[in-house]
Amino acid sequence: MSGGPARALPVPTRAISRASPLEPRTEKRHLPSSRVPSRPEPQGPFSFDRPFHAAMAQATMGLSPAALVQAYGDWALHLFLSPDKQIALNERARRQCIRYLEYCLRALLNQTDFCIDPLPQDKRFINEDWRQWPFNVFQQGFLLSQQWWHKATTDIYGFSKHHEDVVSFIVRQLLDTVSPTNFPASNPEIIRATAQQGGFNFLRGAVNFWEDARRAAMGSSPVGSEAFEVGKNLATARGKVIYRNRLIELIQYEPVSAAVYPEPILIVPAWIMKYYILDLSPENSLVQYLVAHGHTVFMISWKNPRAQDRDLGLDDYRKLGLTAALDAISEIISNQSVHCVGYCLGGTLLALGAAAMARMGAQRIRSITLFAAQTDFTEAGELMLFIDEAQVAFLEDMMAEKGYLDTKQLASAFQFLRSNDLIWSAVVQTYMLGERPPMFDLMAWNADPTRLPYRMHSEYLRRLFLDNDLAEGRYVIEDHPISLRDIRAPIFCVSTVSDHIAPWRSVYKIQMLTDANVTFVLSNGGHNAGIVSRPGHPGRHYQIATHNWDEIYVDPDAWRQIATLRQGSWWPAWVSWLARLSGRRIAPPPMGAPEKGLVPLCDAPGGYVLEK
């Protein structure tokens, strides 16, 4: 295993119609698609279930009470039927009480050694003031309680692993609400700020709270986001919208060099986000970085769906998104395969689309790059906590009322998964210390979310999360099951250490699922910050290694031991990898193809990205 170039593999050739490169072969073997059950029609003149569940979802942030009751009932019953576990918990509680009382006595004598340390990822108690009495007593009592409850909700024989994860997570969230960091009387940083500022920190915090509440009620953007405007200081790469359909605008970016690589790049972002995360401020723009290195870049900009788009499904996103974009590119740059890039959900779409094209013999993809994209969903992180039949059915009823999943539900879900970082720390900083953190480009982008159409989101949750059809060979496209093993194009796969949406070990499974050369990168950072990792950004580092198709599989932990560690951004390594797979530079292609109906429609960033 090395960090060198991946070897290109031949793909089987078949006669493919140029006008319809994805046309299926004549023989058909019909397989049952994944189960996407619909609610049975009401027998009487009234239907109460769906509006009742939708109204309930507003109060529960989209969490199904039935799913939570099932999880807690499973926990309580198995704990009740496990006397050995009860005895062990009682003994642990006795020992921890003794340890805590002993620590309290030592704390009175100014001995600062803790009896329990916070977890490495827990940054709430890093301030030195938490080592001083009585704050050290507060935080040690909280951490001991947190540890006991973790033991109480895990390792119970017969307890469902899924329900265990749900219960331990919810208990952790409930405990976090009573953390001593969240209260002015028990947080030394708040006490110090109040004494130094004469209470003006609370006055500023009250003003901040009122402004945030007002903006939330009006549906306005957060404070500071008005300093960032799409087309002015965000999404500023020069280009044209050269194609539009009901779901996408396709942007072609203008070259900045006299010669470019012959193979264009198509970027497929996730439609759960606006595309310009990859074209933020000029110094933070992956698009401008690629163009500056001699690449012709095309970008899909997804339409923000509304109620009338409720019936758009995953296959519509494949055909109207990936396939339509490739068709348009082939009209502008003929006889050239394409470097395809997929981010998050866009990467999953790219993988299933590439598998469909490979099965049907279409040779349109030169390479595949995946950014934080999962293809196997058995270990899909904390999002899996709330993906079961009861929860999905509840979400479907909630979405059916509007025709889409609202941005507020999406934002609440992601904040809930990281409540310490995104909720409680923000409450303390903004409302108690009275210090509003400065807005920057990535935060402004994060405050500009999109909706998800009802049918697509239901299919995504059921076919990928619940049933894992793509990884297990049951995903059907054009009446045929597809397999990721049919993909032969070399793959560059980027994951991030702190990703809570697409955990890196889950992303890593692409190496087991394909028969392609896979160059795998593990970058520090999270789902977004680890990808938007410009050269020169302080503190960046990554590991990289290539696994060739004919080599023995290496598990993730072993891979971390042998993969090369490099300092800085992974962007230069990726650009070098693309260059090795590209031909000699030629003159730039034209902007659009007016003679073929692809007339530039407007300047980038286009119109779809501006829709609210």
Q: Higher pLDDT residue, 369 or 7?
A: 369
Place of tokens 């951004």: 569
Q: Higher pLDDT residue, 260 or 15?
A: 260
Average pLDDT over residues 527-543: 92
Residue 316, pLDDT above cutoff 80? yes
d(CA 125, CA 139): 8
The secondary structure of residue 322, as a DSSP letter, is I
| Structure confidence at residue 5 (pLDDT) | 38
Q: Which of 464, 500, 485 is nearest to 377 (CA)?
A: 464
- In degrees and rounded to multiples of 5, residue 343 shows phi and psi of -115, 125
Range from 38-42, 122-126, 341-345, 532-536 carrying the lowest mean pLDDT: 38-42
Place of tokens 């300093």: 227
Whole-prediction pTM: 0.88
Q: Higher pLDDT residue, 200 or 386?
A: 200
Element (H, E) at 603: strand 602-603
Tokens of 442: 């990535």
Residues ≥6 apart with Cβ < 8 Å to 553: 511, 512, 547
Tell me the one-letter amino acid at 143: L
| Structure confidence at residue 39 (pLDDT) | 55
| Structure confidence at residue 297 (pLDDT) | 98
Average pLDDT over residues 259-265: 97
Which structural domains are found in the chain, ordered by start? 65-182 (no CATH), 239-610 (3.40.50.1820)
| Structure confidence at residue 363 (pLDDT) | 85
Peptide bond preceding 605: is omega within 30 degrees of 0, i.e. cis?
A: yes
Residues of the chain with pLDDT > 90: what percent?
69
List alpha helices for 109-229, DSSP H: 135-152, 161-177, 188-197, 200-218
Residue 23, pLDDT above cutoff 60? no
Q: Which of 560, 557, 548 is nearest to 524 (CA)?
A: 560
- 461-475: per-residue pLDDT in tens? 999 999 999 999 999
Q: What is the mean pLDDT of the chain?
A: 88
According to DSSP, the residues that pair with 330 across neighbouring strands are none
Q: How confident is the model at residue 38 (pLDDT cuts 50, 70, 90)?
A: low
Residue 72, pLDDT above cutoff 80? yes
| Structure confidence at residue 269 (pLDDT) | 97
| Structure confidence at residue 380 (pLDDT) | 83
- 544-580: per-residue pLDDT in tens? 999 999 899 999 999 999 999 999 999 999 999 999 9
| Structure confidence at residue 44 (pLDDT) | 53
Q: How large is the C-alpha radius of gyration of the chain?
A: 26
For strand 239-244 and strand 602-603, is the pairing parallel, antiparallel, or unpaired?
antiparallel
Task: Give yes or no for a contact between 437 and 431, defined as CB atoms under 8 angstroms apart.
Answer: no
Residues ≥6 apart with Cβ < 8 Å to 567: 540, 541
DSSP, collapsed to helix, strand or coil, labels residue 351 as helix
d(CA 223, CA 218): 13
| Structure confidence at residue 412 (pLDDT) | 67
d(CA 589, CA 299): 16
Place of tokens 């009592």: 141
- 75-111: per-residue pLDDT in tens? 999 999 999 999 999 999 999 999 999 999 988 887 7
Residues ≥6 apart with Cβ < 8 Å to 391: 63, 64, 67
Residues of the chain with pLDDT > 70: what percent?
91
Respond yes or no: is residue 344 known to be catalytic.
yes
**Angle at 487 (CA atoms; ends 481, 492), nearest 5 degrees:** 135
Q: How confident is the model at residue 45 (pLDDT cuts 50, 70, 90)?
A: low
Place of tokens 């595949």: 368
| Structure confidence at residue 12 (pLDDT) | 33
Residue 268, pLDDT above cutoff 70? yes
- 400-445: per-residue pLDDT in tens? 888 998 877 766 666 666 777 778 888 999 999 999 989 999 999 9
> Which listed residue (97, 104, 115, 344) is catalytic?
344
- 157-209: per-residue pLDDT in tens? 999 998 999 999 999 989 999 999 999 999 999 999 999 999 999 999 999 99
| Structure confidence at residue 18 (pLDDT) | 30
d(CA 207, CA 289): 41
Residue 22, pLDDT above cutoff 60? no
d(CA 463, CA 183): 44
